[in-house]
A and B are shown apart, each in its own frame.
Chain A
Amino acid sequence: MTFLSTVALRRVAALGLAAVSLAACNNKRVTRMDPARVTDLSGRWNDVDSKLVANALIEQTFGGPWTTQYTASHGGTSPTVIVGTFRNRTMEHVPIGTFVKDLERAYVNSGRVRLVASRDERTEMRDEREDQQVNASAESRARIGKESGANYMLQGDVQAIEDAEGREKIVFYQIDAFLVDLESNQKVWIGQHKIKKYIDRRRVGW
């Protein structure tokens, strides 16, 4: 009886130890971080790249003469921009929207550029306006044909060049953005940002 209980106790202890060991493997840890902090893990396109691109484009767009020239020629009225297509020409997944939205925020919040809804966004607006013509009261109805036409369209692309040897890799991203006059097709502003990353995957590291 005593022998049996000793064996059972040993088994229970072993099982408990195994369970604790397994639980220890699942050491999930979540911490909140400052979004402005640089954190590079894999070397692929990440939030830091997006932020750097947005910052560079914001600085370049307000540094260029296109807004001041337009405003001076139109008695202080700001130019109107529509966001066109930004293409990702890399093999990697690059979410374009993050830095484009940052740029849009800078345009609107600075008060120096007016922004109109893009092609995708305005479809919903027009549907709603159409619906109002039937269902909304006359005094609250949004009128048709009062949209603002854009003066310029923002377009751009992201391109990447990779170079790898063994466990080392260089990734180069070039982000080009430009504003095109919708009437004359003239490019009135070109912004550019380049990112070069060195990725070294050593076998042993400290």
Chain B
Amino acid sequence: MHTTLKVTMLLSAGLALAACNGPRRVQARPIMENGDRTESQDRMIARAAAEGNSGTARLTRSRDSVYTRAVASCRGTICASIVKGEISLGMTPEQAMAATRTSPAAWTVRESRDATVMVPRYLGNSPRDATGEVVMVQFDDKRLNAVSYRETQGIRVVSSASDTTTDGRAKAMADALIREGDQFNAAGDRARALDRYDRALALKADDIMLEYKIATMLDLQLRPVEAQIRYQRFLQELEIEQIEARGDANAKLADAIARAQQRLIVLERQTSVPVPSPDANPAPLPRPAADSTRAPVTPVKVPVDSTKVPVDSLLAHAAAAR
């Protein structure tokens, strides 16, 4: 009897222990079981198509009516611009929409007296014309007087006939690249600054001060041979005889010429001896005149040894001379 009791108790304890470590069965109700059906994709696609078609048809009707009004009132070059898909100065709001192949649904229009401004309704989904992404169109008395594009280097505003030409666009892009280069230079990133100046020079080949900036950047990056070539090119491109010391701009330019000449002498001396290793200190740059803005144009003969000047001040001079 005693033994039976012991066995029973042991068995009970064993069962209890086994139950503690038993499988934790998940009691969640299943949402899908064998035999159920999944929704038909064809029905889903048909529903989406029906929704899309109604919206597209409405937009197309609206766009077509804008086109009709735009083309009915256009003349000459404006008609040609609409066909080519280019916004041009003098267009009406409808013509601008027609040129961008859009309807009023794409724009938020604000009017105040004679001024009208159209901006894209959805950020990141700006309408485009043949030139680029349009971010703002301004009208004066219902005639387009300025259009702004989002370019790689920032916003470009077209508000005159010269801005709309290829040269005007190249000049605006070059200016933006120079600004970017100046920012990199100010941040101490000379490699990127040089890259931007180089790219700007491709668009604005007649900017001699850009050549000077590139020469300076190369000089600072311990690339004496290339710097020397650039300084020489800068000096050659200047018609020195024609420069007269009249006004601040010419005085600054004369200052830059003098500095480039001095630097050229230094670099010629350096390159005649073995080229320094990149970790060597760069050769000192010439010191600017005390009041360089009013400096006479006569070539300044500064001894090479006394040409210790902060680079930033030199660049500031070059930038100011522009």
Contact = CB atoms under 8 A, between A and B. Distances in A.
B7 to A, nearest CB: 27
Contact of A110 (B25, B48, B105, B126): B48
Interface in B1-44: 23-26, 28, 30, 32-41, 44
Nearest to B120: A73
Interface stretch (B56-64, B70-78, B285-293, B303-311): B56-64
B71 to A, nearest CB: 15
Given A37-B35, A38-B34, A38-B36, A112 B23 contact: no
B39 A198 contact: no
B102 interface: yes
B125 A73 contact: yes
A198 B44 contact: no
A62 B48 contact: yes
B56 A71 contact: yes
Contact of B37 (A37, A109, A186): A37
A52 interface: yes
A168 B122 contact: no
B278 interface: no
Given A38-B32, A38-B37, A170 B23 contact: no
A181 B59 CA distance: 23
A69 B37 contact: no
A111 B52 CA distance: 7
A168 B48 contact: no
A162 interface: no
A71 B59 CA distance: 8
Contacts, number: 121
B190 to A, nearest CB: 28
A108 to B, nearest CB: 9
A77 interface: yes
B49 A111 contact: yes
Given A55-B41, A69-B125, A198-B28, A112 B106 contact: no
A64 to B, nearest CB: 11
Please classify the interface of chain B as helix (H, G, I), strand (E, B), loop, or mixed, using the class held by over half of its residues. loop
Contacts of A170: 26
Given A73-B106, A74-B106, A181-B124, A111 B41 contact: no
B53 interface: yes
Interface in B122-156: 122, 124-127
Contacts of B35: 37-38
B51 interface: yes
For A73, A102, A168, A184, the residue with the greatest tally of chain B CB atoms inside 10 Å of its CB is: A73
Interface residues of A, number: 44
A181 B124 CA distance: 9
A55 B105 CA distance: 30
A38 B56 contact: no
A111 B38 contact: no
Interface in A53-82: 54-55, 58-59, 62, 67-78
A170 B44 CA distance: 30
A39 B39 CA distance: 14
Contacts of B101: 74-75, 77
Interface in B101-120: 101-103, 105-106, 120
B55 interface: yes
A72 B48 contact: no
B45 interface: yes
Interface in A159-179: 165-168, 170
A73 B102 CA distance: 7
B47 to A, nearest CB: 8
A54 B42 CA distance: 12
A70 B124 CA distance: 9
A77 B55 CA distance: 11
A29 to B, nearest CB: 17
Interface of A: 34, 36-40, 48, 51-52, 54-55, 58-59, 62, 67-78, 102, 105-106, 109-112, 165-168, 170, 181, 184, 186, 188, 198, 200
15 contacts: A37-B37, A38-B34, A40-B34, A48-B32, A55-B44, A58-B44, A58-B45, A74-B102, A75-B102, A75-B103, A76-B60, A77-B101, A112-B52, A165-B23, A165-B24
